[in-house]
Structure 1
Amino acid sequence: MPYPDRLLADDEEVVRHLHPHWLTIFWPVVFFLLLVGGASFGAALVPAGRQQGMVRLAIVALALLLLLVFVAVPLLRWRTTHYVVTTHRLLFREGVLARRGRDLGLSRITDVSYTQTLWARIVSSGTLTIETAGDSGPTVLRRIPDSDGVQQLLNHMIEEDADRRAQESAGYLRDDDWPSDGGWRSTAVL
């Protein structure tokens, strides 16, 4: 599902949209399979009698409660966590009921580094640490898929953003705005 265009500026485009690594939802899926299998087996073992329906209903109710807490919540948390790299900024959005977000302008980012354990290298995951100008300290993003690729992409986007800002501050038009005769034209107002 693409990131909503309404949250972007007019000249801003999404370059990469990520969720946390798929291993984040591995254990909730395993727990789902075990819980469904265990609840089905437990309901089948209930002996026939007057209380059979109530006991089976209690097993199903307990299974649903456990599914909600240990499966649905982690899956929703994974699905509602967004890491978006655009042409102008890096956006983080997370939360199911209460939302939290942060936008980092590419011009404010001073350093992007990643770390990977051996296991993270095997599954192509890692942790990104993003340093910005200011007193807020580093932003740490854990379980990022293709963390080394995202780090390289961010460094590339930071360089492109700096070049774009330099051209804009020099007062020159973008390439598609050049006059057809090839002459230089400034957008600076005198």
Structure 2
Amino acid sequence: MGYPDKLLGSDEQVVRHLHPHWLTVFWPVVFFLLVVGGASFGAALVDSGSDNAGLFRLLILGAAVLLLIALVLVPLVRWRTTHYVITTHRLLFREGILARKGRDIGLSRITDVSYSQSVWERVIQSGTITIESAGDSGATVLKQIPDSDGIQQLINHMIEEDADRRGRENAGYLRGEGQGAPRS
């Protein structure tokens, strides 16, 4: 599924659209299996001959549903609604389920892009990317980025392409080819 075109400029294109590394959903899947298994086992332990067997099973089911929402559904939806988008002009970050927050950084404003990986992150090809940009907002730290070293190289490449594009546009504007340029 592509990123919504309504958020992009007329000459802007999505180069890469990422979510956090898939391993971030590992524990929610483990919790799903544990909760379903535990609830099934607990429901099977309830004595069928008891007068309150239905009530006990209903309580076990209710507890299981609450645990599934808190430990499985919320992390999965949070993972799915976290977007890291690299376009031809900027980087877009969006996250949040009900309340959303986001940040856009123009490629021309980025001053440094670095990444770091622990030994485990190297094995699973994940890492942390730190983006420093001109302005008062400080560094942007993105954790659990898949192929973090490749993404760092891609961002640096896009910064260079953006600078080249801006140079061509400025040269065209100075020659009178740009919009609003004085005509002779």
TM range (shorter): over 0.9
Match of 1:148 in 2: 149
Distance 2:176 2:134 in 1: 34
Relative to the length of structure 2, the TM-score reads 0.94
Alignment identity in percent? 71
Which structure 2 residues correspond to residues 159-174 of structure 1 after superposition, within 5 A?
Answer: 159-171=160-172
Cα-to-partner distance string for 1:138-185 (whole Å, 9 max, x where unaligned): 100000000000000000000000000011011269xxxxxxxxxx98
Distance 2:100 2:136 in 1: 23
Check the 8 A contact 2:31/2:71 in 1, yes or no: yes
Distance 1:97 1:185 in 2: 48
The secondary structure found in structure 2 opposite 1:127 is: strand
Distance 2:108 2:176 in 1: 26
Cα-to-partner distance string for 1:106-133 (whole Å, 9 max, x where unaligned): 0000110000000000000000000101
Distance 2:60 2:19 in 1: 34
Give the root-mean-square deviation of aligned CA atoms. 1.5
Which structure 2 residues correspond to residues 63-142 of structure 1 after superposition, within 5 A?
Answer: 63-142=64-143
Shift >6 Å, 4+ stretches: none
User: How many residue pairs end up in the alignment?
Assistant: 180
The secondary structure found in structure 1 opposite 2:128 is: strand
AA at the equivalent of 1:78: W
- Give the C-alpha shift of residue 27 in structure 1: 0.3
The secondary structure found in structure 1 opposite 2:144 is: strand
AA at the equivalent of 1:24: T
The secondary structure found in structure 2 opposite 1:156 is: helix
The runs of 5 or more residues in structure 1 that have no matched partner are 174-183
Distance 1:29 1:189 in 2: 62
- Give the C-alpha shift of residue 189 in structure 1: 2.8
The secondary structure found in structure 2 opposite 1:171 is: helix
AA at the equivalent of 1:121: R
The secondary structure found in structure 2 opposite 1:134 is: coil
The secondary structure found in structure 2 opposite 1:103 is: strand
Distance 1:154 1:68 in 2: 36
AA at the equivalent of 1:76: V
